[in-house]
Amino acid sequence: MGAVLGVFSLASWVPCLCSGASCLLCSCCPNSKNSTVTRLIYAFILFLGAAVSCVMLTEGMESQLKKIPGFCEGGFKINVADRKVDKDCDVLVGYKAVYRINFALAIFFFVFSLLMLKVKTSKDPRAAVHNGFWFFKIAAIVGIMVGSFYIPGGHFTTAWFIVGMVGAFLFILIQLVLLVDFAHSWNESWVNRMEEGNPRCWYAALLSVTSVCYILSVVFVGLLYTYYTKLDGCTENKFFISINLVLCFVVSIISIHPKIQEHQPRSGLLQSSLITLYTMYLTWSAMSNEPDRSCNPGLWSIVKHMTAPTLAPGNSTAVVPTPTPPSKSGHFLDLENFIGLTGFVLCLLYSSIRTSNNSQVSKLTLSGSDSVILRDTAVNGGSDEEDGQPRRAVDNEKEGVQYSYFLFHFMLSLASLYIMMTLTSWYSPDAEFQSMTSKWPAVWVKISSSWVCLLLYVWTLVAPLVLTNRDFS
């Protein structure tokens, strides 16, 4: 009897899985906007894909993956060069699984991005596909994932690695754009509160946050010089740290230049401090992929060294690094990867809940259009009731979409590639996945992304001076 009731209960959800996002909300959920609910559901799907990818790297799952035909034939031994330890096929089947799972997600979201080109209102039939039919979309993702596990290795892995590097590079730039958007919105909200309330209190808070970001950046630089450089070597790391430190200083000066302040009075050191901290993170992230282990001790090794230093012989002040012992359970999730995934989660959540009407970046990147991105008002949503029942998700896109469907799906496609590269530590595989090594291209991709990020931020500052015919207020 219980089973029968369970079947009927499940059957009652089938129409919901084929309709809009509002049907998936429980009766106790607060009223929400359809545009926000849909983005959160897509974000949850990507989070679930990232979680499955992490599971594929666990020891128990890797033993099951070896049973898939062609995944690990012959039980060959693998040497991961920059880890100085022999690994068996377990590590590589986990990486191959991560590649294929995120291949499925990237392809799905990329196809949807093409399908959603130039959708302007929720009255477009394609908007119904974007906001509904969840059962079929999830089934399509699962089907692509299952099929991808039977794709022959060969040159697919190398080609997809290159695609992953390009996609991850672009997603890093998207993170910068969202960070600038967040900083502008945050600064604007604080300025408004200063005008409404006690200005001294808010000025103190603004100054405190800015000072903390700059202090953390200086500490970051000091740690990078200490642990990622040597007096007689690590020339590339010295160059990366020094050039980015100088560039961040220049960018901070530009942000408070009188000409910039004249055209953008609300730009200032708060945004520059966040960009400086993010740039230092990208610098560290790039050096964490350097093949030379003497110039890349690893974050976990540094943490252990700082908490339990070993005194060098004959010197009571100097300390020598303590190498991290090799993991016996294979590669799962390094501390560097965990930090990268944390940034990905914050970025995706912010992009899912942000509104477009206060987006400074959409104007600066010329992605906003009055015909596509309209005011986010409750008027667009119509009545709060539908068929006599309370409407749990208001359709606020009848007059115009609140965000670009194309760009949102394209961002999710790039985010899938970023997950793939992060979980595999940006290691470069050969054609048959018989070796995985950290190589210089990954370092240059990350460090160049930091330079492009700084360039983009400078553009957001000087754009009002160059494009005088556009409204940046």
User: Which tens digit of pLDDT belongs to each residue from 160-179?
Assistant: 888 888 998 899 888 888 88
Token couple for 128: 């119904």
Of 347, 221, 213, 214, residue with least CA distance to 283? 221
How much is the pLDDT for 268? 80
Token couple for 112: 């949807």
pLDDT score of 143 more than 90: yes
Stretch 187-192: mean pLDDT? 72
How much is the pLDDT for 91? 53
pLDDT score of 53 more than 80: yes
How much is the pLDDT for 241? 94
Of 342, 347, 338, residue with least CA distance to 423? 338
Q: What is the Cα–Cα distance from 171 to 228, expressed in whole angstroms?
A: 26
Q: What is the Cα–Cα distance from 451 to 242, expressed in whole angstroms?
A: 13
Token couple for 332: 């799962």
Q: What is the Cα–Cα distance from 123 to 131, expressed in whole angstroms?
A: 11
What is the residue-averaged pLDDT of the chain? 74
How much is the pLDDT for 393? 60
Band (233; pLDDT cuts 50, 70, 90): confident
- Name the DSSP letter for residue 23: G
Do 351 and 362 touch, CB atoms closer than 8 A?
no
